[in-house]
Structure 1
Amino acid sequence: MKIYKKETVQHVNATVEECWEFFSKPGNLQKITPETMGFEITDFDNKPMYAGQIIQYKVSPLLGITIPWMTEISFVKENSYFVDEQRFGPYALWHHKHFFEATENGTKMTDIVHYALPLGFLGRIMNTLMVKNKLNEIFEHRVVKVNEIFNSK
């Protein structure tokens, strides 16, 4: 299985606590996800983030095909980091770490995603042709939305 890595860093003009308040609420994920993804939370307990929390979604990442996706928040250290991992969905592996670090001018947010696709050789081709580009689009959209929320004040 080929494992890929996507890493992004964004600086935000807000405190770690303000960033945590926003990003630790799974319901806010829809606000920073492109509408073209057809992203919809279908099951969530509306509690503050905690290790073991299950969140279920529907996404339409490619060709309008709707796919169920279930993630688990596997690790949480308040105002520092959290990890979400796919339990069911389109990837053979999805492990997403979110880090929040105080800086002189606000917060440095780092996302590190390790992912793998099913279908062996075909999955590698799909990553090259579509998936890698789609992830880049999603994270670029997120940068724009996070800037609108935090850096346009």
Structure 2
Amino acid sequence: MLYTIETKQLIRADLASVWAFMSNPRNLARLTPPYLGFEVLSKENNDHMYPGQIIEYYVKPVLNIKLHWVTEITHVQEGAYFVDEQRFGPYAFWHHKHFLQETAEGVEMRDLVHYKLPLGLLGKLANAAFVKKQLKGIFDFRYQQVETVFDGR
């Protein structure tokens, strides 16, 4: 079964500043809750995402077990959106679209994630028991971090 998460956030800042922050791979760890033990392994020294970019990291989503996760940035439209897709990791499928749109009040950031868990029925049970809630918590944390970053501008 394919699951979907959609989030929206209004950021009171200009599009160029929001794009520069959100599309910088160096900010991934700052946007991820500390309890996930997020550790970027990629040594590429880029401050912006580009199509074909591979980002490799460790994450501890369950019982503090370190998992290897590799994503590829598959699409980038400067100032508008980018897409990351899991190549290796804890999900059977992960496709995450990040959209930015300038509005009269600032920038609307919208995320659309499609994911599938491995292990059939066990994956369905895991999603109902904790994965869906954990993903919501991750996006809630990111929301707060983004508010903190752009509130001080």
What is the TM-score normalised by the length of structure 2? 0.97
Percent of aligned positions that are identical: 49
4+ residue stretches of structure 1 with deviation over 2 A?
Answer: none
Alignment size in residue pairs? 152
Partner in structure 1 of residue 109 of structure 2? 109
Partner in structure 2 of residue 11 of structure 1? 10
Q: Does 1:124 align with 2:124?
A: yes
What is the TM-score normalised by the length of structure 1? 0.97
RMSD: 0.8
Instruction: Please state how far the C-alpha of 1:32 moved relative to its aligned partner.
Output: 1.2
SS in 1 for 2:28: helix
Instruction: Please state how far the C-alpha of 1:152 moved relative to its aligned partner.
Output: 4.1
Unaligned stretches of 5+ in structure 2?
none
What is the CA–CA distance in structure 2 between the aligned matches of 1:39 and 1:49, rounded to whole Å?
18
Q: Superposition pairs for residues 4-153 of structure 1, below 5 Å?
A: 4-47=3-46, 48-153=48-153
What is the CA–CA distance in structure 1 between the aligned matches of 2:144 and 2:20, rounded to whole Å?
19
Unaligned stretches of 5+ in structure 1?
none
SS in 2 for 1:126: helix
Instruction: Please state how far the C-alpha of 1:106 moved relative to its aligned partner.
Output: 0.8
- Give a deviation string over 1:89-146, Cα, whole Å, max 9, x none: 0000000000000000110000000000000010000000010010011000011110
Instruction: Please state how far the C-alpha of 1:151 moved relative to its aligned partner.
Output: 2.5
